Amino acid sequence: ILNVEQSPQSLHVQEGDSTNFTCSFPSSNFYALHWYRWETAKSPEALFVMTLNGDEKKKGRISATLNTKEGYSYLYIKGSQPEDSATYLCAPQGSARQLTFGSGTQLTVLP
């Protein structure tokens, strides 16, 4: 069972601010790292799947980096908007291919 830590647990930012969250996980037995965005009353939405050390992925104003050697990933949001308010979950995937989720970072963007 992987021990996955996400920080901070919750975050309030003003519209237009940039922000970032951290996901840390055991570096052994690593296969991939998934990021999801989960808005209230909706399904979790896949943002990124990252596999290689040093990977950087970008989707609009959201980007992510991966360090598999030290076991962490950062998610960045540039110029936060109210519609970015959601819980952001990371889930490393080991050789067994199952996802182990962190508890998430709950982001609130204030207008």
Partner 1 sequence: ETGVTQSPTHLIKTRGQQVTLRCSSQSGHNTVSWYQQALGQGPQFIFQYYREEENGRGNFPPRFSGLQFPNYSSELNVNALELDDSALYLCASSLAGSGDNEQFFGPGTRLTVL
* Binding-site ranges for partner 1 (CB under 8 A): 1, 4, 6, 32, 34, 36, 41-46, 49, 51, 89, 91, 93, 96-104
Q: How far is the CB of 15 from partner 1 (least distance, A)?
A: 26
> What phi, psi does 71 have (nearest 5°)?
75, 55
Q: How far is the CB of 98 from partner 1 (least distance, A)?
A: 5
Tracing tokens 């309030």 back to the chain, one arrives at 12
Q: With the C-alpha atoms ordered 4, 32, 66, 103, is the resulting torsion angle positive or negative?
A: negative
Q: How far is the CB of 44 from partner 1 (least distance, A)?
A: 4
